[in-house]
Chain A
Amino acid sequence: MTQTVTKLQCAALVMTTILPTAVLILPKTVMNSVAQDAWISLLVSTLGGVVAAFALGRFAAGTKGGVPFQKGLGESTGRVLAALAGLALAAYYFSIASTALHEFITFISAEMLEYTPKIVLKGAAVLVLMYIAAKGIEPIARISVLLMLTSFPLLALSVLLTISKMTWRQIEPVGEHSWTTIALGGVTPLGWFSEVAIVLLVAPYMIRPKEAVKGAVWGVLLTGTELIVMVLQSLFVFGPNLVRSMEYSMVDLVGLIEVGNFVERVEVFFITFWMSTVFLKLGIFLFGTIHLLETTLKLPFDRSPLLLGVGLLLWADTSYNWPHDMNQDLTTGITTAMLLVCNLLFPLALAVLGRLMRANKQAEGGADA
């Protein structure tokens, strides 16, 4: 295990883990709850995300550099609990990779490749993900930085090209919804922000694991900023009522770009960039699964057979687990609960348990002395 990941790369990894799917789902979901106040809900959830990033970052910063998360956990909570936690988190990353892959391919199918069987699209995507996961976290981190640096000018360009279609006053009346409703509207985005938990797996690979806190917090802040800009952009152009009925409002938004008769249909350019970020996100999840299984099961062979097995399982799971494509309840309800439990509650419970057990050991050590 080599420690090469920098603070910037850590922030970029956090951003790549959260943004690609959040950008697709959140405008509609949040505006459904709080209409034009969606940006306030996002602001609130970004702040919540920052707190979560700080807490998870602190937990991650406590691990020793070069020692995988699951192994480090074993030292504080005991082997059995660490093994169970490792398997549970591996199952979580696998499950979330399967869900996100299904959503991604549903989008590709709806927008571009209608007649190509989804099983083929999913198979091709799984092969790419296996390649990404095989390369490990360092190349993923380097590419994440490139994508992060590209995403800002691209976002600025899309704002610039749609600025003539914007009505700033769509944001009014500000704060029409009660604070309870606004806070509830922020629950789904908070679920997405909780994916900052990836920092637990990344920290041991960092040159200075202590910087995991800053990396996680910056990652959430940058993601929150981009999401707020995107939601405001959709709001200003379409108004809150139309966005509610749009499955992919950001795609519809860039589809409106027309400059005279010579710049039209540029959405494919934006979609291509977005697809690369989704591949990277899914690659991170598959890497998370493989990494956790590897360290938990202590397999006596190299990564390839495991990668092949998990890849095949992912292909089968994502292909046959979804009788229907529409998964609104799943993405907003069940997934949010799962995200919050697996990314926030579970790791934080492990952190508390680890501290208690360490304190107990120290107390016992003191008593023995």
Chain B
Amino acid sequence: MKKWGKLLAALLLLGLTTGCWDRTELNELSITSATAVDRQGDQWIVSYQVLIPSVVSGALGPMKGGAKLPITVYSTEGPTIREAIYQSALESPRTLFFSHNRVMIVGEELAKNGLDELIDVYLRNSDSRETVAVLITKGEGRKILEQLLQIQIIPGDGIRETMRTERKNFSVLPYVNMYKLAMELTSEARNAVIPEIFISGGEPVTSSDQMNKTTMSSKLKLGRLAVLKEGKLKGWLKAEQSLGANFLRDEVKRTVLSTGCGDEGGKNQSAIKILNSKTKVKPVIRGENEPIRMIVDVKAEGTLLETRCKIDLDKPEVISKLEKQMEGEILAIIRDGFKETQKLKADIVGFADLVHRKYPKRWHEMKSDWPEEYSRIKLETHVDFTLKRLGLTSKSFTKMFEQVEDEKK
């Protein structure tokens, strides 16, 4: 009898411990893969790229004419971000679910007004994940969500993978997610960066019929780098300037640069892939009114990918000259990128943290006037580039061709 009593009590307990108030069925959720936030007057416009699960699971093959699309995009409006999101209850039978949200697109207008409220939403609510990648676009963010991708079924996933691949193989733009953005904006400099995404080409691709072509009329592309000061958009860096800033931020993993032939001069004759790059920056403060000097040491290694120079790569002095020219290229890229950030008086490279770490007392004196101090910084850059590999042939085909011609003569 006692046994039965215990069993009954255990069963009753089960009823209490299921957490059934928070029970959510999968078919009650709208899984968002990407979100865009825009500002229109005093209203927030939040747009969602929502997955259609039945189509995603069966959409591994090519799109057939008139076939259903794996996503749907819609927007809601409200005086605050969260109210705008909850307004979706008026038009959607399912609850929005943000845990699988891959990217957040920020409209330019919103970025100009400041991103504080948006970041607050992410840090305050457990359903929004700080790992979401952040991008900025000129115009409305919604347009980016509507654009379909051919290779990746879910565009939100595709955008994030493009960012990851770019960071891994080209390193022109940094990979920025929400926690990194919050971290940069709360750093000593209070500046941050966000990569741009835009629709390149003509008519946006928003239907399955447009997808069934080998060439699409337009595609999503990563572009420049937006510079934020105190959470507000203040300017843009071009791709090459962004690479320069990335060198200073020590965020270059791999990239490809075009250079000359060393001795023969000229430009864009050879392509060199940088495989490893390490940047060390050391601040030096001498006198009271002296501008801060930043000693930048870049150590990089690379491999030759392509050349049309008539040079003999078997000779060490030729390699050495090529390395010197490459060092000059990197130096110019860094200087150009840094100069642009100085023009904007936006320390996006984290020099403020370095000064604080090395000169804590001086930092507290100059903290309030940091943008001015930053614009006066003198950069002393030393680049040490080593060409590690030449590929599978040591002579350029142009040189070989020339040799054959000479032998014929």
Is A66 part of the binding interface, using a Cβ–Cβ cutoff of 8 Å?
no
**A265 contacts across to B, CB distance below 8 A:** 99
Q: A239–B183 contact, CB under 8 A? A: yes
Tell me how far the C-beta of B203 lies from the nearest C-beta in chain A, rounded to whole angstroms.
31
**B357 contacts across to A, CB distance below 8 A:** 169, 172-173
**B182 contacts across to A, CB distance below 8 A:** 242
Is A127 part of the binding interface, using a Cβ–Cβ cutoff of 8 Å?
yes
For the residues of B in contact with A, the DSSP-based class is: helix
Q: A176–B179 contact, CB under 8 A? A: no
| A173 and B360 in contact, given A124-B16, A238-B183, A239-B186 (Cβ under 8 angstroms) | yes
Give the contact stretch, choosing among B123-131, B219-227, B317-325, B384-392.
B123-131
**A121 contacts across to B, CB distance below 8 A:** 19
Is A325 part of the binding interface, using a Cβ–Cβ cutoff of 8 Å?
no
Is B187 part of the binding interface, using a Cβ–Cβ cutoff of 8 Å?
yes
Q: Determine which of B19, B99, B129, B187 lies in contact with A239 in the assembled complex, contact meaning CB atoms within 8 Å.
A: B187
CB within 8 Å of B: which of A96-122?
110-117, 120-121
Tell me how far the C-beta of B18 lies from the nearest C-beta in chain A, rounded to whole angstroms.
9
Mark interface residues in B361-397 (1 if CB within 8 Å of A CB, else 0): 0000000000000000000000000000000000000
Closest to B24 in A: A115
Is A123 part of the binding interface, using a Cβ–Cβ cutoff of 8 Å?
yes
Is A362 part of the binding interface, using a Cβ–Cβ cutoff of 8 Å?
no
Tell me how far the C-beta of B42 lies from the nearest C-beta in chain A, rounded to whole angstroms.
26
Chain B residues touching A, range: 20 to 34
Q: A113–B21 contact, CB under 8 A? A: yes
Q: Determine which of A113, A116, A252 lies in contact with B130 in the assembled complex, contact meaning CB atoms within 8 Å.
A: A252
Is B356 part of the binding interface, using a Cβ–Cβ cutoff of 8 Å?
yes
How far is A176 from B360 in the complex, measured between Cα atoms in Å? 7
Tell me how far the C-beta of A351 lies from the nearest C-beta in chain B, rounded to whole angstroms.
42
Q: A258–B16 contact, CB under 8 A? A: no
Is A241 part of the binding interface, using a Cβ–Cβ cutoff of 8 Å?
yes
Tell me how far the C-beta of B392 lies from the nearest C-beta in chain A, rounded to whole angstroms.
30
| Residue ranges of A at the interface with B (Cβ–Cβ < 8 Å) | 110-117, 120-121, 123-124, 127, 169, 172-173, 176, 238-239, 241-242, 245-246, 252, 255-256, 258, 264-265
A116-B21, A127-B13 given; 12 more Cβ-contact pairs under 8 Å: A116-B20, A116-B22, A117-B21, A120-B16, A123-B16, A124-B16, A127-B16, A172-B358, A173-B356, A173-B358, A238-B179, A241-B187
Give 7 closest A-B pairs by Cβ, nearest first. A172-B357, A241-B186, A116-B21, A173-B360, A115-B21, A113-B22, A124-B17
What are 12 sample pairs from A and B whose C-beta atoms fall under 8 A apart? A111-B126, A112-B22, A113-B22, A115-B21, A116-B20, A172-B357, A173-B360, A239-B183, A241-B186, A245-B123, A258-B131, A264-B131
| Residue ranges of B at the interface with A (Cβ–Cβ < 8 Å) | 13, 16-17, 19-22, 99, 123, 126, 129-131, 179, 182-183, 186-187, 353, 356-358, 360
